[in-house]
Amino acid sequence: MNVLVTGATGFVGQAMCRKLLAQGSNVTGTIRPALHDMSALPPGVVPCSVDSLGPGTDWRKALFGIDVIVHLAARVHIMKETAEDSLMEFRQVNTHATERLARMAAQTGVKRLVFLSTVKVNGEDSGIRPFNETDPAHPRDAYAVSKWEAEKVLKRVADETKLEIVILRSPLVYGPGVKGNFLRLLQAVNSGVPLPLASVNNLKSLIFVENLIDAIIVCMTHPQAAGKTYLLKDNEEVSTRQLVALLAHAMQRPARLWPFPPSVLRLGMRLIGKSAEAERLLGSLQVDDSKIRKELGWKPRYSVTQGLAETVAWYAKTKDEH
């Protein structure tokens, strides 16, 4: 199979490419020449330069001879946003470039496109029951809005062409190479700094990167996946408190947790402009993955404990680089 992986030099993209190569696929990976990220491309992947992503992106070179696309490239959360119109910037990459890719793929005879979306399309807090695929969309930030708009545009392309679309809404992805908030949590637990999270009893769905990749590979070829949207997760949910304790155990360090009222912590974070961070840390976000299990027979191969152990092992080897 000839597979195009966009965002091939990213955290998920690199692992995706390595797995596809190991399975015997021919893999083309997009790179951004302006970012000089050629060295991050796994050996064996055919590089294809793609300029800035937007409604005018020329994907033709990358699409030559391709059977299936795994579309991972995206503008993700930025801790210190500098764009005057962040929604416009997210739309350029996540919505308009995705539509352009899908329409050009349809014109060149690509069979299927698997799109990595986000559970944040459903919302930020699942409340008393897990999100499922039939729940109304409730994106609350520019990133989630742009992903929701991309989902809708992809469905229109599928209706108008022969291109098959599969949408995967993923919760927080972790594993070797992880960045962002999860990496910062690893650093905090490793440093031994006391964390005021002992009273946090939320529940979070997560997904280990290898479990996510397994799901993507199933969705690349399974006949019943065409036209579907799926939520997915690891087998177990964890609270933020439990996550810290599991990471500390894997690091063979004490979990330095102390009790503090979550309501007071949430208020304090809001007062310093960290409302979104407070919700991610303290709120519950669970998903129901029964649809993909029933329809495609997919289930996670790795437990949360196994996934966190691999993540910590990677961090221990590379922590001086971060």
**Half-sphere exposure in the Cβ direction for 232 (13 Å, CA):** 33
Catalytic residue (one of 143, 174, 230, 315)? 143
Answer yes or no: 302 catalytic: no
Amino acid, single-letter form, for residue 224? Q
Quick check: 20 and 5 in contact, CB under 8 A?
yes
Give one DSSP letter per residue of 223-285, joined into a string: GGGTT-EEE---S--B-HHHHHHHHHHHTT----B----HHHHHHHHHHTT-HHHHHHHHS-B
* Alpha-carbon gap, residue 182 to 17, rounded angstroms: 22
CA dihedral 305, 311, 314, 320 (to 10 degrees): -120
- Token match 């897990």: residue? 130
Contacts of 259 (CB under 8 A, 6+ apart): 196, 198, 199
Would you please indicate which residues are annotated as catalytic (active-site) residues? 143
